[in-house]
Structure 1
Amino acid sequence: MNTLIPYLIVDDEPLARARIRRLMDKQLRFVCVGEANNSASARPVLDETAVTLIFLDISMPGESGLTFATELRQRFPRIKIVFLTAHPEYALEAFDLHANGYLVKPLREDKLMALLMTIFPEVETISYHVGNELRHVQLADVLVAQADDKYTRITLKSGTDALVDISLKALMDKFPSHFVQIHRSTLVNRNDIAVLESQGHKHFVGLKSLSARYEVSRRAYSQLKALL
């Protein structure tokens, strides 16, 4: 899935909105199209911008999130609604409104990620650690995977690298439509290949999103020529 998923945050607490943005900024397939501190300020955003997902606080001054959700379900039947609250006792009432999810404040990253993968199963993700922090990246943003001792080094569209505890073979078996193997130690995103070129007796691929070139084995060369 290559299309960005637009989302809106509606919460009267600035710190709560900032927490959601900080966690969602790690999810490269999602884009925030606005923040609002109540339903009144959310309506103009919804009138002017396509929104697929809305994070909606239940307890806000004026109109509650539950009341606003009733309107949203009528106006935008396909919108995904995730309720936010510090009061778990609202859960049953929230799901009576056909909510797609329910998160308790303070928001936990693992709970958010599990919910996103349930709501958007087509958005494949790969997990990796930075220190003690578990992070997730959408598969579409992984451009290169290279064997690195006991781990695999992945290169993202942002140009950053990360180590994942999954072998090249496991990545290739799990995501055969995403990766193509160009060398025994290298996979690349097949949709990001820009050029296949030769220098002397060696072959290389260039990617659309990275300046580096990657060596292609003789065995993979004919397969790549057919692909391009």
Structure 2
Amino acid sequence: MSTPAQPASSPHDRSTDKPCIRALVVDDEPLARDELIFLLEQCGDVVIVGQAEDAPDALRLLDAARPDVAFVDLRMPGPDGIALTEAIKARQPDVAVVIVSAHDDAALRAFDARALDYLLKPVRLERLRATLSRLRESLAAHAPERPSAPPAERELLTRLAVRRRGAYVIVDVSDILFFETKDELVWAVTPDDRYALDLTLARLEEQLDPELFFRSHRGALVRLDRIRSIEPKGQGLFELVMEHPDAPRVALARDRTKHLRERIPFAG
């Protein structure tokens, strides 16, 4: 049985007056739903807009609840979490889906279905916070673009001081090929090294020159003039091969391909 949003839920975080993350929780076990909802409520800026016990209930709630994210149990009666993920993406592509499971054997299938993340039960609060951080970055990356401030009013990031072995190493932004998230950290990659940063990709995107850097994926920010080639992966997907001795490949999200074509026309 589906449960709509509670009227008392607030769509804003009162401490910041920013919109909250709207979450739909889908699990056939009431105790599991309650436990996940409890953890989500500890994160401060999440409002539960609905609960469902199976895929049909979740799809009936989808349009009315308007979630930003659906937390979906993998194994449920009827269509499983992967099938529900595919159905949600077909109906509302902008809704993120996080698969929750006691087993790790379906992670690849979940990501193939375009799940944002895959959480193992019992869900840890720290791991859930990391997932929500990725979701915030994804929501920011796909939010309507605001006009950039005039160059005279906007100070762009040109150097980074990165802590390493007790000292701070100065890294010129002009030397950085791309930024990526890996192992829950953000890394700056240069031709000679890689540096762990205490910054989010969303914050970097705000401070870097938008003429030079491009958000190719929720987990990557690349320098346009350091892309060596754009290689097809099949099914309309591409990878960006960077100018680096190891020729690292950076994912290009399907919904970012059009934007890249506007920046680098595909002439062939």
User: With structure 2 as the length reference, what TM-score do the two structures score?
Assistant: 0.44
In the TM superposition, what is the alpha-carbon distance from 1:110 to its structure 2 partner?
Answer: 1.0
**SS of 1:121 mapped into structure 2:** helix
Which structure would you say has the larger RCO, counting Cα contacts within 8 Å and 6 or more residues apart?
1
Aligned-partner residue type, residue 62 of structure 2: L
- Corresponding residue for 1:69? 85
What do the CA deviations read for 1:85-136 (whole angstroms, capped 9, x no partner)?
Answer: 111010011111111000001111111111111221389xxxxxxxxxxxxx
In the TM superposition, what is the alpha-carbon distance from 1:77 to its structure 2 partner?
Answer: 0.6
1:107 and 2:123 aligned: yes
In the TM superposition, what is the alpha-carbon distance from 1:28 to its structure 2 partner?
Answer: 2.2
- Corresponding residue for 2:62? 46
Residues in 2 aligned to 1:40 and 1:78: alpha-carbon distance in whole angstroms: 19
* Structure 1 segments of 4+ aligned residues over 4 angstroms from their partners: none
- Corresponding residue for 2:13? none
Pairwise mapping of residues 1-228 of structure 1 onto structure 2 (< 5 A)? 2-121=18-137
User: With structure 1 as the length reference, what TM-score do the two structures score?
Assistant: 0.52
Residues in 2 aligned to 1:122 and 1:67: alpha-carbon distance in whole angstroms: 22
Structure 2, unmatched stretches of 5+, are 1-15, 140-202, 204-268
Residues in 1 aligned to 2:26 and 2:138: alpha-carbon distance in whole angstroms: 25
CA RMSD, Structure 1 to Structure 2 (Å): 1.9
Measured at CA, do residues 79 and 108 of structure 1 come closer, stay the same or move farther in structure 2, by a change above 3 Å? same
Aligned-partner residue type, residue 37 of structure 2: R
What do the CA deviations read for 1:16-53 (whole angstroms, capped 9, x no partner)?
Answer: 11111111111221100111110111122112121101
Residues in 1 aligned to 2:121 and 2:50: alpha-carbon distance in whole angstroms: 20
Structure with bigger gyration radius:
1
In the TM superposition, what is the alpha-carbon distance from 1:59 to its structure 2 partner?
Answer: 0.6
**SS of 2:31 mapped into structure 1:** helix
Residues in 1 aligned to 2:138 and 2:128: alpha-carbon distance in whole angstroms: 16
